[in-house]
Amino acid sequence: MKLLVLGGTKNLGRHVVEAALADGHEVTLFNRGQTNPELFPSVRRIVGDRAAPEALNDGEWDGVIDMSGFLVRDVSLSASILRDRCGHYTYMSSIAVYASKTTPGMTESAPLLPWPAGAPEDHFTMDLYGPSKVRNESLLTATFGDRTAAVRSGFVVGPYNPDFGNWGWALAHDLPMECAARPDQPIQYVDARDLAAFLLHLTVHRIPGPFNAVGPTRTMAELADAWRTAVPNPHPINWSPPEDRFHLPHNGTNDGTFQLDNTQALRAGLQLRPDEDTARDYTTWLKAGNIPPPPPH
Ligand SMILES: NC(=O)c1ccc[n+]([C@@H]2O[C@H](COP(=O)([O-])OP(=O)(O)OC[C@H]3O[C@@H](n4cnc5c(N)ncnc54)[C@H](OP(=O)(O)O)[C@@H]3O)[C@@H](O)[C@H]2O)c1
């Protein structure tokens, strides 16, 4: 299949490209050539900026996987340019789309964030992250109809990706894992490789719809226990660290964000590896001398 990946050279996108190449797809990358330009030397690369994507005016693709869509204006431009020249358009969205942060068990049809009146469509600020993802999903559905999927994830964990708190680093360096959260606080994440495989699967099989691409809900304590199996003699968890590296509210005001219903994603083909495998592989990757990238904005 001919696949166009918008982005594809950073944390999660790297796994998408690796998975597509491993499955024998013909990949084209579109990015500015600034982030890890040495990656995938044999892959065709169209150099350009999302703000002016005219370089995409030529070519046809069976599928597009959009990893770099933040600004509404940019996603709108690529959608109109690619509308009649691609089969399926899979958009990497976020769990930040939901209006409620406290409701447990939200499905994909739960209420979404509104667009703040007067907010700019061509200038990114962090408070527009969730509303922009909502707008982008909606404009892609208006453009492509059933030929688009939106994939909503939160924490994305695994090689190439930022650490999960300090957990990987701590295990790799024989230090205590830290967790400022309540031990019973709900948490969900997805392994970057499982998410990449799902993005590819939706695109190749042209599966429409929004999906909560997250793992099952666990408590922080349950997840910490699973991660501790990555090394033979782990330290006890430090539940009162000086710094909260997860940057999460711990008073319940965000608990719904990590109790999303992932039934539809599982039905559509999301496959989740055990937490123990994610922890082991991430720790091994760090032990090999890799430095985790800073957390995504
Ligand atoms: N990581 C998480 O925890 C997480 C969670 C939820 C959702 N997401 C979503 O996942 C996506 C990001 O994943 P990632 O960072 O791993 O993606 P990625 O595809 O690996 O990296 C970002 C890519 O976008 C390109 N890019 C950035 N700005 C560009 C521009 N103006 N024009 C053209 N290309 C541009 C970069 O290359 P150049 O710099 O060379 O242009 C790079 O290839 C985002 O949509 C994010 O919202 C991530």
**pLDDT reported for residue 297:** 55
Kindly list the domain boundaries of the chain, sorted by start residue: 2-287
Is the separation of the CB atoms in 230 and 158 below 8 Å? no
13 Cα nearest atom in ligand 1: 20
Q: Is the CB of 67 under 6 A from ligand 1?
A: yes
Going by C-alpha positions, the residue among 65, 62, 27 that lies closest to residue 45 is: 27
Residue nearest to atom 28 of ligand 1 (CA): 68
DSSP state of 120: -
> Which pairing describes strands 209-212 and 148-152: parallel, antiparallel, or unpaired?
parallel
Q: Return all residues near 211 (Cβ < 8 A) that are at least 6 apart.
A: 108, 149, 150, 151, 152, 198, 202, 264, 265, 268, 270
Q: How is residue 6 annotated by DSSP?
A: E
Contacts 24+ apart (CB under 8 A), 133-141: 133/93, 133/94, 133/96, 133/97, 134/97, 135/72, 136/69, 136/72, 136/75, 136/91, 136/93, 137/91, 137/93, 137/97, 137/210, 139/72, 139/75, 139/76, 139/79, 140/75, 140/79, 140/89, 140/91
Q: What is the pLDDT of residues 74-123, one digit of tens each?
A: 999 999 999 999 999 999 999 999 999 999 999 999 999 999 999 988 88
Place of tokens 């982005």: 7
Indicate which residue's Cα is closest to atom 43 of ligand 1: 7
Report d(CA 284, CA 263) in Å as an integer.
31
Among candidate residues 96, 227, 212, the one with its CA nearest the CA of residue 163: 227
Average pLDDT, the chain: 96
Q: Quick one: pLDDT at residue 121?
A: 85
293 lines ligand 1 (CB under 6 A): no
Distance CA 75, CA 171 (A): 39
Q: Which amino acid is at 291?
A: I
Which atom of ligand 1 is the closest one to the Cα of 31?
34
What's residue 122's pLDDT? 85
pLDDT digits 0-9 by tens, 241-262: 999 999 999 999 999 999 999 9
- One of 3.40.30.10, 1.10.1060.10, 3.40.50.720, 3.30.2350.10 is the CATH number of 2-287, namely 3.40.50.720
